[in-house]
Chains A and B, each alone.
Chain A
Amino acid sequence: MESTILAQSVVNGLLIGGIYALISVGLTLIFGVMRIINFAHGDLMMLAMYGTYWMCTLCGIDPYVSLIATVPILFIIGSLIQKFLVNRVLEGTDASQLFLTLGVMLIAQNVALLFWKADYRAVRTVYSEYVIRVGEVFVSVPRLTSFAVAVILTCLLYVFLARTRTGRAMRATAQNKEVSSLMGVNVRQTYTIAFGIGTGCVGAAGTLLSTFYYISPTVGTTFTLTAFLAVVLGGMGSFTGAFFGGLIVGLAESLGAVYFATQYKELVTFSLFILVLLVRPSGLLGRSRV
Chain B
Amino acid sequence: MATIALTGLLNPETYFPSVLLLLLAAVPLVTSNSYVLHFLILILFYAVLSEAWNILAGFTGQFSLGHAAFFGIGAYTSTLLFIHYGTSPWLGMLIAGVFSVACSLIIGSLCFRLRGPFFSMITIAFAEALRLLTLNWAGLTGGAVGLLVPLMGDSAVNFQFLSRQPYYYVLMGILLALLLTTYVIRNSQTGLYFMATREDENAARSLGVNIFRYKLLALAISVFFTAVAGTFYAQYILFLHPDSVMSLNFSIEIALPAIIGGMGTIWGPIVGSVMLTPVSELIRSILGGSYAGVYLIIHGSILILVVIYFPNGVTYRLTKHYQAFLRTLPGGREQEHAGN
Contact = CB atoms under 8 A, between A and B. Distances in A.
A binds B: yes
Interface of A: 37, 85, 88-89, 92-100, 102-107, 109-111, 113-114, 117, 221, 225, 228, 232, 263-264, 266-267, 270-271, 273-274, 277-278, 281, 290
A109 B296 contact: yes
A114 B291 contact: yes
Q: Which of B125, B136, B303 has the largest number of chain A CB atoms within 10 A? A: B125
Contacts of B34: none
Given A110-B294, A113-B293, A117-B290, A274 B307 contact: no
A107 B304 CA distance: 10
Interface string B145-157: 0000000000000
Contacts of A94: 116-117
Contact of A281 (B114, B128, B136, B304): B114
A114 B294 contact: yes
B59 to A, nearest CB: 13
Contact of B301 (A95, A103, A270, A281): A103
A37 to B, nearest CB: 4
Contacts of B120: 98
B296 A274 contact: no
Given A89-B308, A278-B113, A95 B296 contact: no
Contact of A114 (B63, B125, B293, B311): B293
A93 B311 contact: yes
A270 B120 CA distance: 14
Contact of B297 (A97, A98, A106): A106
A100 B136 CA distance: 32
B300 A96 contact: no
B248 interface: yes
Given A95-B63, A110-B294, A85 B304 contact: yes
Interface residues of B, number: 39
B267 interface: no
17 contacts: A89-B311, A95-B63, A99-B303, A100-B304, A103-B307, A106-B252, A106-B296, A106-B297, A107-B304, A110-B293, A113-B293, A225-B125, A264-B132, A267-B136, A270-B125, A270-B126, A278-B122
B308 A267 contact: no
B121 A228 contact: yes
Q: Which of A111, A114, A221, A278 has the largest number of chain B CB atoms within 10 A? A: A114
B128 A102 contact: no
A278 B110 contact: yes
Contacts of B132: 264, 266-267, 270
Interface of B: 61, 63, 65, 110, 113-114, 116-118, 120-122, 124-126, 128-129, 132-133, 136, 248-249, 252, 259, 263, 290-291, 293-294, 296-297, 299-301, 303-304, 307-308, 311
Contact of B303 (A102, A114, A277, A278): A102
A290 B311 CA distance: 24
A88 B300 contact: no
Contacts of B307: 89, 92, 96, 99-100, 103
A96 to B, nearest CB: 5
Nearest to A277: B122
A128 B136 CA distance: 31
Contact of A85 (B118, B122, B308, B311): B308
A13 B26 CA distance: 61
A262 to B, nearest CB: 11
Contacts of A273: 122, 125
B304 A104 contact: yes
Q: Which of B120, B133, B290, B301 has the largest number of chain A CB atoms within 10 A? A: B120
Given A113-B293, A114-B297, A117-B290, A266 B303 contact: no
B46 to A, nearest CB: 16
Given A100-B308, A278-B110, A281-B114, 14 more contacts: A37-B117, A94-B116, A94-B117, A102-B65, A103-B303, A103-B304, A106-B297, A107-B301, A114-B293, A264-B136, A266-B128, A274-B110, A278-B113, A281-B118
Given A278-B113, A281-B118, A110 B125 contact: no
Nearest to B292: A113
B228 to A, nearest CB: 26
A93 B126 CA distance: 24
B300 A225 contact: no
B121 A277 contact: yes
A285 to B, nearest CB: 17
Nearest to A95: B63
A104 B302 CA distance: 11
A111 B293 CA distance: 8
A117 B292 CA distance: 11
B293 A274 contact: no
A153 to B, nearest CB: 26
B124 A104 contact: no
Contacts of B301: 103, 107
